[in-house]
Structure 1
Amino acid sequence: MDMSSEPDDSGGHCSTADSDGEVAEEIAIVSFERKLETAREIEAELADRYASIDILEYHGEIFEEYWGEYDCFVGLMASGIAMRKTAHLLDDKWEDPAICVVDEELTWAIPITGGHHGANQVAQDLATMGAVPAMTTASEAAGKQGVESRAKAMDTHVVNGDSTVKTNLAVLDENLGPVARLEGPRAVLVGDDVTVLKRNADDGIVLGTGSVSGASKEAFLAAWDQALARTDYGVGDVEFVGTATRKEDEDGLLEAAQERDLGVVVFDKETLLEHEGPTPSKSKELIGWPGVSEASAIAGGAEQELVLEKISYENEVTVAIGR
């Protein structure tokens, strides 16, 4: 996800119903009696990823009975059943619960409604049990990060939901532009094609992270722990992990971030050069990029200042902390 800290074109790449940003916290697994064992397996696998997971035995009015009480229903059933039993309940995509169906063999996880508001998230989690996430939301189908996904990565929520139709079209056309970070007090006038994201926490830190190619998940986790141990902050204080666009496909980084439930925000070269840190980096001489860890920590922080300058772990991963 690109993000700029300035309101110009130079930058880079469950809660309330109208502000999820792809977050689901309270889940209900709806299952026929004969499939309850599978439902319990799903509950056990996903238990530590959600605030609560309940198992509801299916009957004809089960969705109507519990509509609005959960962020997402996981239907352990044919998609046609879930569609017919919920169609008359659907009203507003920002307020309706998400629905994801999965077959008994855990072959497919299919978001039906609320893809950006929990169903895609649940489908991806079910992939750890072998299910293939069949996501059809346009941005995800094209392999791009929609605005709601960006909001989740940055620990923010969408304020004006209707705007995402236009901004997600811009994502598909690759002309959305940077996410401008504005700190107040300030008044901002926007049009209906500008999506406004509001931070979920008043303050927090950014784990600026660089690495050699192919660094392992374990190296990233150890590096972050080592860096945090040198401060008064913990994992719970982290807003997101910041890195460079050239590192956005590092498997170890993405796996480590997923394990810690952290979003990853990537910055383009121009943004990082504008926020270069104090520690010299050989990469600037070799390829023209500044040190990724310090620059992304500074660029991502609300105050744009370093809490911890770059440290290195096993010559694989570098970490700096910004706020």
Structure 2
Amino acid sequence: MLFYGPPGTGKTSTILALSKQLYGPTLFKSRVLELNASDERGISIVREKIKNFARLSVSNASKEDQEKYPCPPYKLIILDEADSMTSDAQSALRRTMETYSNVTRFCLICNYITRIIDPLASRCSKFRFKPLGDNSSLARLQYIVSSEKIKLEDETKILKEILKLSEGDLRKAITFLQSACKLFSFGTDGDKAEAPDADSMNIDDPVVVPTFSITDIQEIAGVIPNSETNKLIQRLVAKNFNDIFDYLREDVFKAGYNGSNIINSLHDSLVLGGDDDDDDVDLALSLNHDQKNKISEIIFAADSKLTNGCNEQIQVLDACLKIAVLL
């Protein structure tokens, strides 16, 4: 099998859940070999560790396991992030898959199927995992919030912002939620406070989860907050080039914001319409299609140059000045 799709869509969780349903907790340890990105992925591992495990004969399952689980007569090798393997390692793996297919099955997991060589991909049943829908992801986050007794004033709005920032990656969304709770979950007066020293904590001490805002989530995610984007757009509309330069240098770059995030934030606000609930500036500017097309071209060019390693301050400033002329 070949599972492919963007990160955080449940590829690894699916095959692990399937293997545990097939073998049970006892046989799982001896019948399943999982290798991920933290393991050595060179050709030597394919020739030694994977081949040695694949060639082993299958042990008989106990009567108790056979009554509870299917226990198929083969082992399972899970190769997570298989697209990070070298071409030589993938070629060696193809031969191993053919030789020991009678006692061993393989599941390859990757983000980019184009990085899997054709001889290997053609021997697999392919399953594409698409980004999770907002409704399913929101329901899962709401379940976590309810189970962990997290109190949020505007729960739905905050969770939707988390989903927006995670871009269909449920794992990233859960990490953002967990990080926010860890940062703001100490204290009894509802105020944000730093976590106390572990030695001074008592398990019986009351712990209150303060309400964190959308801005807090954006800071955790490392994106430029809506308020900062609004201030930048105000300066672009005013066409005060010296003010734009000073603001980017003193307030944006010195705050540590990434150039790509600034560009993406401008695209969301000017081209896609921004946040309707923002009062600082009307981000849904009445731009015509021609203006939006030109802004998209400017942002695309800047993002491409940033990806190629150009100086982010120069590229962001250049893009902002070009956009200011169009507004």
* TM, length-normalised to structure 1: 0.29
**Larger proportion of helix:** 2
* TM, length-normalised to structure 2: 0.29
Pair member with larger Rg: 2
**Larger proportion of strand:** 1
